[in-house]
Structure 1
Amino acid sequence: MAKIVSLADGIAELVHDGDVVALEGFTHLIPFAAGHEIIRQGRRGLTLVRMTPDVIYDQLIGAGCASRLVFSWGGNPGVGSLHRFRDAVQHSWPVPLELEEHSHAGMANRYVAGASGLPFAVLRGYTGTDLPRHTATIRSVDCPFTGETLTALPALRPDVTVVHAQRADRAGNVQMWGITGVQKEAVLAARRSLVTVEELVDELTPVPGQVVLPGWAITAVARVPGGAHPSYTQGYSVRDNDFYRDWDAISRDRDTFRAWIARHVLTTEVPA
């Protein structure tokens, strides 16, 4: 059964220097508050994994938490580039950043393989692209039944996956709905997991299109209202589009970025 913890305690216990860490969420339910706690606790040498790294990964990279990024697309959605990401790749600031790039389908299938306890995923993607020449984890394999050449990718097994959801009951069963992306697979593939939620309830009320993660599959749950801001949580909050636009200017300059992190992350704490 998942245990109920504070966000600070959850990150302290579950996220360690050098870990492979996935903070998943697609368009909404992006675990910003948890990412900020990782920055506050000064984690270093992380391999960050995510299908679509956006602003929270820009912040983690700019804060010096990451040494490697495994991903399939990176950008500030609807705005443009991630300038802290670009600075790390192009100028090694604040530390060099190694890249492992895949397709969306490749990343999703790697999570599925990890969640299924399989050593690798098989798909028809990547054919005719440059990715196999630049990414050592993309291999080819011949089907033993048809002889067809397919693509094989190693399973993704993060040390810890962090996601945000709408609610959990007091036994640690988590309920989420809306655009849920690969959160379920990323949690099931991980060795440890932390779910931040808008609220804790005595009983989960069924919702159309819901995904329920059972408490036995989750390590810890933390109540963090607004934990997805500036992304949104369906039924609880709306997307802060102004923040995404403002981030472009904030993140372009190193000193402006550092001042923002100092004011809005390092000196801000989430109530226990």
Structure 2
Amino acid sequence: MSKVIPLAQAVRDNLNDGDTVAFEGFTHLIPHAAAHEAIRQGKKDLTLIRMTPDIVYDQMIGMGLAKKVIFSYAGNPGVGLLRRMRDAIENGYPREIETVEHSHAAMANAYEAGAAGMPSAFFRGYKGADLPKVNPEIRFVTCPFSGEELAAVPAHRPDVTFIHAQKANKKGDVLIEGIVGVQKEAALAAKRVVVTVEEIVEDFEGLHPNLTILPNWTITAISIVKGGAHPSYTHGYYDRDNAAYLEWDKVSADRELFTQWMRTNVLEATPDIFAERIKGLQA
């Protein structure tokens, strides 16, 4: 499989300074390993798109990679704030960032529109909400058929989307089991798609064909990274590391402690560290 390459090469070949990029996963399969590689390579001036930024974007923002974040709900799931993101918004540390906030529904529809090659998404929403007052990209149009007023937002069209998945087969098809968020739409909306997987198998015999949400022709590169979603979980492989999310609340609250943690756990680490971290979390 020519598409199977080391993660460092996949990031280097497909993510450029100034790109608009999505690192998507929902509850599980969050592509932490790919994001860490982007940090190690010192990518800069990125526009980050993600439905729920959580700690993977907190780390990228805290390391100065982001110039803009397009998102819905920013928080450390089940714990509290994204402290590095908040520091950037309130204090411009380590740099000022632009934020564009949406609802989950708007983000999902924007990905769907991007996947369909449409310039914008139209949906029922935002009526009576305050977000249109602070987000000029939320507009309203009248349906030419029903006369109904609908919300409209720009489509998401990332330069590159990164996702994590359980398996790829020898042909390069990608399989996801468990909760599926917007990975398929985020991938189809992008110019390039990089997938990290737990393993590559001969085929998907015996598994439901609908689990193969991305055929090989939609994928640019595949990298094998065991534990690549940690501290989020990968259904069928390892559990969510709740302790890591609790620890992050303390680490991210202090700039010096954050820098030290990132140096030890990201800058001086390799993708192999993810396989070590999931020992004891195996399902």
TM > 0.5 between the two? Answer: yes
Partners of 1:122 and 1:96 in 2: how far apart?
A: 31
Matched, 1:101 2:101: yes
Does 1:265 pair with 2:260?
Answer: no
How much identity, in percent, do the aligned residues show?
A: 55
Asked whether the equivalents of residues 47 and 66 of structure 2 are also in contact (C-alpha less than 8 Å), the reply is yes
Aligned to 1:44: 44
Q: CA RMSD in A?
A: 1.2
**1:87 alignment counterpart:** 87
- In the alignment, which residue of structure 1 is the partner of 2:278? none
- The number of residue pairs the alignment matches comes to 271
Following superposition, the deviation at residue 2 of structure 1 comes to 7.2
1:242 match: secondary structure:
helix
Residue equivalent to 1:117:
117
Q: Deviations over 1:55-74 (max 9, x none)?
A: 11000000111010000111
Corresponding residue for residue 212 of structure 1:
213
Structure 1: 4+ residue segments shifted above 6 A: none
Aligned-pair CA distance for 1:48: 0.4
The aligned residue for residue 235 of structure 1 is 236
CA distance in 2, matches of 1:238, 1:10: 26
Give CA deviations for 1:152-201 in whole Å, capped at 9, x if unaligned: 11111000000000010122110011011000000000011100000011
Alignment-derived partner of residue 247 in structure 1: 248
- Alignment match, 2:3: 3
The corresponding residue for 2:58 is 58
Q: Distance in 1 between matches of 2:206 and 2:227?
A: 22
Q: Give the aligned partner of residue 226 of structure 2.
A: 225
For the 8 Å contact 2:120–2:152, the answer to whether it is kept is yes
CA contact (8 A) 1:40 1:265 kept: yes
User: Is this contact kept in 1: 2:173–2:212, CA < 8 A?
Assistant: no
Residue in 1 aligned with 2:30? Answer: 30
1:204-253: per-residue Cα shift (whole Å, max 9, x none)? 23435624310101111111110000001011111100000010000000
- Specify which structure has the bigger relative contact order, considering alpha-carbon pairs within 8 angstroms and separated by 6 or more residues: 1
Provide the rounded CA distance (Å) in 1 between the counterparts of 2:3 and 2:138: 37
Q: Do the aligned residues in 2 keep the contact of 1:110 with 1:155 (CA within 8 Å)? A: yes
Q: Is the 8 A contact 1:69 1:97 kept in 2?
A: yes
- Structure 1's unaligned 5+ residue stretches are none
Secondary structure of the residue that 1:165 maps to in structure 2? strand
Instruction: Please list the CA deviations of residues 115-134 of structure 1 after superposition, one character each: whole Å capped at 9, or x if unmatched.
Output: 01111111110111111121
Aligned amino acid, residue 4 of structure 2: I
Work out whether 1:197 is the aligned partner of 2:208. Answer: no
Consecutive unaligned residues of structure 2, counting only runs of 5 or more, are 273-283
TM-score normalised over the length of structure 2: 0.93
SS at match of 2:52: coil
Structure 1-normalised TM-score?
A: 0.97
* Letter aligned with residue 234 of structure 2: T
